[in-house]
Amino acid sequence: MRDLLLGIDIGTSSCKVSVFSKDGKDIASQTGKYIVSYPHPGWAEQKPEDWWKSVCDSIQGILKDTDISPQEIKGVGIDGQSWSAIAIDKDGRVLFPTPIWMDTRAGDICDEVNRRVGEDKIFEVAGNALQPSYTTPKVLWYEKEYPDEYKRIDKILQSNGYIAYKLTGAVTQDVCQGYGWHCFNMKTGSWDTDMAKALGIPVSFLPDIVNCDTIVGKVTEEASRESGLAVGTPVVAGGLDAACGTLGAGVINNGDTQEQGGQAGGMSICTDTYHADPRLILSYHVVPDRWLLQGGTTGGGGVMRWFESEFAGEERMKEAAGDESSLVQLNVIAEKVSPGCDGLVFLPYMSGERTPIWDTKAKGVFYGIDFSKTKGHFVRACMEGVAYSLRHNLEVAEKAGASSDVLRAVGGSANSRLWTQIKADVTGREIIVPASDTATTLGAAMLAGKAIGMYSSYDEAVKLAVRDTRKHEPDSSVKASYDKAYETYLSVYEDLKGLMQRT
How do beta strands 155-157 and 86-88 pair?
antiparallel
Angle between helices 48-65 and 159-168 (to 10 degrees): 60
Establish if 47 belongs to a structural domain.
no
Establish if 483 belongs to a structural domain.
yes
Q: Is residue 267 very low, low, confident or very high in pLDDT (cuts 50, 70, 90)?
A: very high
In whole angstroms, give the CA distance from residue 84 to residue 185: 18
Q: What is the pLDDT of residue 1?
A: 86
Q: Is residue 437 very low, low, confident or very high in pLDDT (cuts 50, 70, 90)?
A: confident
Averaged pLDDT for residues 183-206? 98
Percent over 90 (pLDDT), the chain: 96
Angle between helices 458-465 and 439-451 (to 10 degrees): 140
Q: Is residue 370 very low, low, confident or very high in pLDDT (cuts 50, 70, 90)?
A: very high
DSSP secondary structure code for residue 455 in this structure: S
Establish if 84 belongs to a structural domain.
no
In whole angstroms, give the CA distance from residue 389 to residue 399: 16
At 448-482, the pLDDT tens digits run 999 999 999 999 999 999 999 999 999 999 999 99
**CA neighbours within 13 Å on the CB side: how many for 488?**
21
What is the secondary structure of 149-194 as a DSSP string?
HHTT--EEE-HHHHHHHHHH---EEESGGGGG-TTEETTTTEE-HH
Q: Given a cut of 70, is residue 497 above it in pLDDT?
A: yes
CB 390 within 8 A of CB 426: yes
Spell out the SS3 assignment of 260-274. Answer: EECCCEEEEEEECCC
Establish if 327 belongs to a structural domain.
yes
Q: What is the pLDDT of residue 58?
A: 98
Establish if 179 belongs to a structural domain.
no
Averaged pLDDT for residues 181-207? 98
- Neighbouring residues of 255: CB distance < 8 A, sequence distance ≥ 6: 269, 270, 271, 402, 403, 404, 405
Q: Given a cut of 90, is residue 74 above it in pLDDT?
A: yes
Single-letter amino acid, residue 266: G
Return the CA Rg of the chain: 22
At 42-53, the pLDDT tens digits run 999 999 999 999
CB 41 within 8 A of CB 292: no
How do beta strands 26-33 and 73-80 pair?
unpaired
Establish if 396 belongs to a structural domain.
yes
How do beta strands 208-210 and 172-174 pair?
parallel
Establish if 326 belongs to a structural domain.
yes
Structural domain span for residue 408: 251-438+455-503
Q: Give strand pairing partners of 104.
A: none
Q: Given a cut of 80, is residue 230 above it in pLDDT?
A: yes
Q: What is the pLDDT of residue 145?
A: 97
- Neighbouring residues of 289: CB distance < 8 A, sequence distance ≥ 6: 272
Averaged pLDDT for residues 364-372? 98
Q: Is residue 345 very low, low, confident or very high in pLDDT (cuts 50, 70, 90)?
A: very high
pTM: 0.91
In whole angstroms, give the CA distance from residue 163 to residue 80: 9
Averaged pLDDT for residues 185-190? 98
How do beta strands 73-80 and 4-10 pair?
parallel
What is the secondary structure of 275-332 as a DSSP string?
---TTSEEEE-SSTT-EEEEEEES-SHHHHHHHHHHH-HHHHHHHHTT-S-HHHHHHH
What's the chain's average pLDDT?
96
Percent over 70 (pLDDT), the chain: 100
Q: What is the pLDDT of residue 496?
A: 98
In whole angstroms, give the CA distance from residue 207 to residue 191: 10
Element (H, E) at 380: helix 375-399
CB 270 within 8 A of CB 109: no
Which carries the bigger pLDDT value, residue 437 or residue 231? 231
Q: How many domains, the chain?
A: 1
Q: Given a cut of 70, is residue 172 above it in pLDDT?
A: yes
In whole angstroms, give the CA distance from residue 305 to residue 303: 5
In whole angstroms, give the CA distance from residue 234 to residue 231: 9
Q: What is the pLDDT of residue 263?
A: 85
Torsional sign, CA 419, 425, 428, 432: positive
Establish if 261 belongs to a structural domain.
yes
Burial of 253: CB neighbours in 10 Å, binned 0-12, 13-18, 19+:
middle
**CA neighbours within 13 Å on the CB side: how many for 367?**
21
Q: Is residue 128 very low, low, confident or very high in pLDDT (cuts 50, 70, 90)?
A: very high
In whole angstroms, give the CA distance from residue 303 to residue 301: 5
Q: What is the pLDDT of residue 436?
A: 65
What is the secondary structure of 229-272 as a DSSP string?
PPTT-EEE--EEHHHHHHHHTT--STT-EEEEESSSEEEEEEES
In whole angstroms, give the CA distance from residue 203 to residue 190: 12
- CATH code for position 295: 3.30.420.40
Burial of 147: CB neighbours in 10 Å, binned 0-12, 13-18, 19+:
exposed
Nearest to 316 by CA among 328, 304, 325, 306: 325
At 275-294, the pLDDT tens digits run 999 999 999 999 999 999 99
Element (H, E) at 215: strand 215-218
DSSP secondary structure code for residue 94 in this structure: B
What is the secondary structure of 332-365 as a DSSP string?
HHHHTSPTTGGG-EEE--BTBB-TTT-BTT---E
